[in-house]
A and B are shown apart, each in its own frame.
Chain A
Amino acid sequence: MELVCPAGTPAALRAAVDAGAHCIYCGFADETNARNFPGLNFSRTELTEAVGYAHARGAKVLVAINTFPTAGREALWHSAVADAERAGADAVILADLGLLAYAAEHHPDLRRHLSVQAAAANPDAINFYATAFDVRRVVLPRVLSVEEITAINREIDVETEVFVFGGLCVMAEGRCSLSSYATGRSPNMNGVCSPPEHVDYATEGNDSVARLGGFTIHRTPKGGAAPYPTLCKGCFTSGDKTGHVFEDAVSLDASALVPRLAQAGVTALKIEGRQRSKAYVAQIVRAFRAVTDALDARRAPPALALARLSEGQAATTGAYAKTWR
């Protein structure tokens, strides 16, 4: 079982490699990747050096070019694919049909993975991507139960990768426009969910208030636990109820389900969090490497205590073990 780990900076990539990641995914410092935040990501030179560091220690590097090119500006995404190949990346992670076609035609030797942003959630969709663009691995959206993943793997010939830890998107991956309503920018087009220039934190009396595009997302007692300022995790009043209307502010932790995911035919386990620090990366990677090592040795996975690294300081198994509210 391969462990695919996030890196938002070269330091985080080295931390992931040193902690035992089999594979690290990262992106360029522009809107070609879905974590386009200030101070984050890699220059071309940094990526080349990072690939060298990883390869020298037996780890692979995947480059996420997983936003959707805008009309008339496709060259930015095309050059990202070429530069990833030039840097020695082991694969690119793509979502857009046009970009997949471009990469398959112009960079046939560069391995292609299908991003979660493509939201391919059934065998027909996955087989189409495999046949049309020779996609070798699909990152499954976080809407599927373990039983559904098993059923998909029976009908496809490509590898599957699933998220096992980190932030959970609302169940419309690749199609989320929530932040567009408040800010005019979205993760899929601009690489930013809740763009930070639209986020405003303020202290009002004894409360900490977070706003996105002028809308109050949540209000917590000063010094209390707080989630990311995203609309999907916001606390709103609807009718006579106040609460998390779209989604609770919790993180995914499927560590206990790893043996079942392996039985379901999954090839790789993905950890979310390219926006997080090297401290997060080192701790999570070390913990999940213990899980994959236990799996290889046919032992039960160790219980992980990762809640303090989680949004809302709490975890869920998400859709893998469906318990809808």
Chain B
Amino acid sequence: MQEARENIAIPKILTAPMHVLPLWPVSIAFSQLARKLLRAHPNILNRIDKYQDCGFDLDITDLPFILRLHPVRADLRAFRRNAAPDADARISGSLAAFLAMLHGVEDGDSLYFSGALQIEGDTSAVLALRNALDDAELDLSTEIANAIPLLAPPLRLALAPLEKLTGLHLHRADTTPEVY
């Protein structure tokens, strides 16, 4: 298993343009991905159960916006931090921490114990979401390649060097990603 690198942050030079660029293309792209992902993994909604209608803020601290997930609507929208309406729950941490948890490299509770992840709001909803995603055994690179087949060939070429360059966990820990 690879070493945890939850403290890696996206360089500011890469995120600076996002402060001024409109967020609606980001919202469209992420919502499309969320729809395909939830369709491919229906058990995620079963496990989220009565919290499907909650709004979850995924506050990726090294991005200049937050992502608001609304599971029942398969909606994943970007908001400026100071312009986001109140959500039911908020999970905050670096992109590296989120990816490591999603891909089964890092344990969510361990990230919480170390302070790398923070929680606010409805704790039950956060647990339901965390457990549902953990059971789904997601591989984001494969999901992106499946959602946008045109991206599969460049992803196949870029994934390994990109992981090496950034230190981010871009695919599931226990598998060789299908896009390789």
Seen from chain A, the residues whose Cβ lies within 8 Å of a Cβ on chain B are 8-12, 15, 18, 37-40, 195-197, 199-203, 208, 220, 222-228, 275-280, 282-283, 308-313
- Contact status A223-B127, CB under 8 Å: no
Neighbouring B residues of A228 by C-beta, 8 Å: 109
The answer, yes or no, to whether B114 is at the interface (CB within 8 Å) is yes
CB-CB under 8 A from B130, the residues of chain A are: 39, 277
The answer to whether A199 touches B135, judged by C-beta atoms less than 8 angstroms apart, is no
Q: A10-B135, A277-B101, A277-B109 are in contact. Are A39 and B127 (CB under 8 A)?
A: yes
Assess whether B120 is in contact with A203, with CB atoms less than 8 Å apart: yes
**Which residues of B97-153 are within 8 A (CB) of A?**
101, 104-110, 112-115, 118-132, 134-137
Complex formed: what's the CA distance from A228 to B109 in Å? 9
Interface residue B47 (Cβ < 8 Å from any Cβ of A): yes
* B79 at the A interface (CB under 8 A): no
**Inter-chain contact B174/A277, CB cutoff 8 Å:** no
Point out the residues of chain B lying under 8 angstroms from A9, CB to CB.
47, 131, 134-135
* Residues of the B chain whose Cβ atoms lie less than 8 Å from the Cβ of A195: 124
Interface size class of B (residues with CB under 8 A): 35 or more
Do the beta carbons of B113 and A38 come within 8 Å of each other?
A: no
Interface residues of B in 67-108 (CB under 8 A from A): 101, 104-108
Q: Which residues of B contact A38 (CB under 8 A)?
A: 49, 51, 124-125, 127-128, 131
B4, CB-defined interface residue at 8 Å: yes
Given contacts A197-B123, A222-B118, contact A313 B131 (CB under 8 A): no
Bound CA–CA A215/B180 (angstroms): 51
Minimum CB–CB distance from B73 to chain A (whole Å) comes to: 19
Excluding A8-B131, A9-B134, A280-B109, 15 further A-B contacts by CB distance (< 8 Å) are A38-B127, A39-B131, A196-B126, A197-B124, A201-B119, A201-B120, A203-B120, A220-B115, A225-B114, A226-B112, A276-B109, A277-B104, A278-B135, A279-B106, A308-B110
Verify if B20 is at the interface (C-beta below 8 Å from A). no
Contact assessment for B135 and A223 in the assembled complex, using a CB-CB cutoff below 8 Å = no
Interface residues of B (CB under 8 A from A): 1, 4, 47-49, 51, 101, 104-110, 112-115, 118-132, 134-137, 173-174
Within the complex, the shortest CB–CB distance from A47 to chain B, in Å, comes to: 14
Do most interface residues of chain A lie in helix, strand or loop, or is the interface mixed? mixed
Q: Say yes or no: A202 contacts B128, CB within 8 Å.
A: no
Interface-centre pick from B112, B123, B127, B137 (highest chain A CB count, 10 A)? B123
Pair A40/B131 contact, Cβ less than 8 Å: yes
Contact A283 B124 (CB under 8 A): no
B51 surroundings in chain A (CB, below 8 A): 38
A184 to chain B, nearest CB (A): 15
What is the chain B residue whose CB lies nearest that of A11?
B135
Residue among B4, B47, B113 with the highest chain A CB neighbour number at 10 A: B113
Complex alpha-carbon distance, A276 and B101, angstroms: 12
Our pick among A196, A200, A227, A283 for the contact of B127 (Cβ within 8 Å) is A196
Residue of A whose beta carbon sits closest to that of B124 = A196
Q: Which residues of B contact A282 (CB under 8 A)?
A: 1, 104, 173-174
Q: Which residue of A lies closest to B61 (CB)?
A: A223
Q: Do B131 and A37 have beta carbons less than 8 Å apart? A: yes
Report the minimum CB–CB distance from B97 to chain A (whole Å).
12
B1:A308 contact, CB within 8 angstroms: no
CB distance from A273 to the nearest CB of B (A): 8
